[in-house]
Structure formats: C-alpha cells, structure tokens
Amino acid sequence: MKILYLGPRSKILNVLQNLYNVTQTEDIINDLSSYDWVVSYGYRHIFKKQHIKSAKNPIINLHISFLPYNKGADPNYWSWVEDTPKGVTIHEIDEGIDTGGIFIQKQVKFNNNETLLSSYNKLKAEIETLFINSFKDIFNGNLKSVKQKGKGTIHYKKDFPGVKSWDVSVNKLKQMTDLEIIDAVEEVRTKNNKNWMDVLRIAFKHAPEEARPVLAEINKSDGQISKLLDKLANNGISK
C-alpha cells in the first residue's frame, strides 16, 4: 500500500513507515492519484477541488479541535478564549475548511494549570495516539466517516491577535464579560484624561516639540479604547 504523508515528521509517520511504502513531504502536491491513502497532519497548504477529486480514497486530516468547534486556524487558542469544547478530530477533507465527515474524535479535559503550550502538546499527543489506534480501521473501511453536526465555530489566521508567550496561562485567555470590558475602557479613559491635561499645560507654555510625545501616548490610548469597544460590540459573537 502506498501512503502519502503531508506534513512535518512525527510519531505517526514513523509508525506508517514501518508498515507501508510512505512518501513524506511538506510541499504542494498537485496529483494524489498514485497513492492509496493520503494523510495530512500539520500540512500548511490548501487542497484544491482537483486535488481532492484525484485521490483514490478520502484524504485524512488530523485537526486538534473537537469539530465542529474551532475549524480553521489556531484551534487550541480559540477553544480557551471562547470556552468551547476541546479535543481532537480525525476527519476527511472536503472543499470546506475542516468541514468534512468525521472518522473519529475525542474530547479532552484539562486542568486549571494549563498554558497554551502545555495544552497544545497534550492535544498533539492525544491526536497521534488516536490515529495510531484507529488508522487500520479507516484503511480497511471498518471506520466510516460521519457528517458533522451543528454549526460550531471557525477562525482564520487574520483573527489571531498574537500572544507574548506560548507559556501564557489559559486562564488569562478566557473571554472578557461585557462588564469587564467596560471596566477596562473606564481604566484607560481615566489614564487618558491625565494625558489630555498634560497636553494642555504644555500647549499653554507654547512648547509644541514637547507636546508631540504626549500626543503619541494619547493616540495609543485611543487605539486601546477603540479595540476594547470593538470587542464589546462583538463579544460572544462567533465569526
């Protein structure tokens, strides 16, 4: 059996190589017809319609979320921010973004001491174990895919605001309540009022060069307020 493994090296690749004729790559592949099965894990490229149609069997994708929640990019991050079910899913690829039928999935529980990095590593370990325990049933046809139920959530790369460190506690990522956002706006506005007074004092002293760095701080605070108000307006709304 010929297997095409798309993505970086992993424990899964080692297992498959011990059993089958496996080709591994992270590059774009245009024709999948010469392989019996295609396994995608951490693959960075989008499958086009003709790629999917050229495959002999459904393309298998490993996604570290409990589909249909957190389809798309950065699923671990968004599961904490939006407090949605966490887990791993092995599914087939269709023309949508992580919308294909599910072969098997597992919900994963975490403790209160997790970080983004520790939870990500646990999800990777879980999905690798799940695949190793189930891929033969998928290849043999004993495990069929089932259509996803519910709308769930989806996120794109552009949605990710970034984090200072992957070791950040997940408790700091949980979505702010409306009142918490309002309190944050009030705190920023209070600080900004002092900035305005400083600008007035400098302006009355006719020192425009000194006023510029203060104005820069004001613009910075106004930007923070704008982001917080936008967060308030969209709080709890799935994208």
Q: Token digits for 129?
A: 């174990």
List the one residue out of 119, 116, 121 whose CA is nearest residue 168: 116
The Cα–Cα gap between 231 and 161 comes to 12
CA–CA distance, 72 with 79 (Å, rounded to integer): 12
pTM: 0.72
Residue ranges of the chain with pLDDT lower than 50? Answer: none
Ramachandran angles phi, psi of 155, nearest 5°: -140, 155
What backbone torsions phi and psi does residue 99 show, to the nearest 5 degrees? -110, 0
Distance separating alpha carbons of residues 236 and 20, to the nearest angstrom: 46
What are the DSSP calls for 102-133, one per residue? Answer: EEEEEE----TT-BHHHHHHHHHHHHHHHHHH
The pLDDT assigned to 236 comes to: 66
The tokens 């006719």 sit on which residue?
206
Angle at 142 between CA 136 and CA 143, to 5 degrees: 85
**Residue range 22-65, pLDDT digits in tens:** 999 999 988 899 999 999 999 999 888 888 999 999 999 999 99
- In tens, the pLDDT along 134-158 reads 999 999 999 999 999 999 999 999 9
At 194 the pLDDT is 82
- Kindly calculate the radius of gyration of the chain based on its CA atoms and give it in whole angstroms: 24
Q: Any idea what the Cα angle at residue 192 is, between residues 188 and 193, rounded to 5°? A: 120
State the pLDDT at residue 214. 80
- CB count, 10 Å around CB of 86? 24
For residue 36 the two structure tokens come to: 């019996």
Measured between alpha carbons, how far is 121 from 115 in angstroms, rounded to an integer?
10
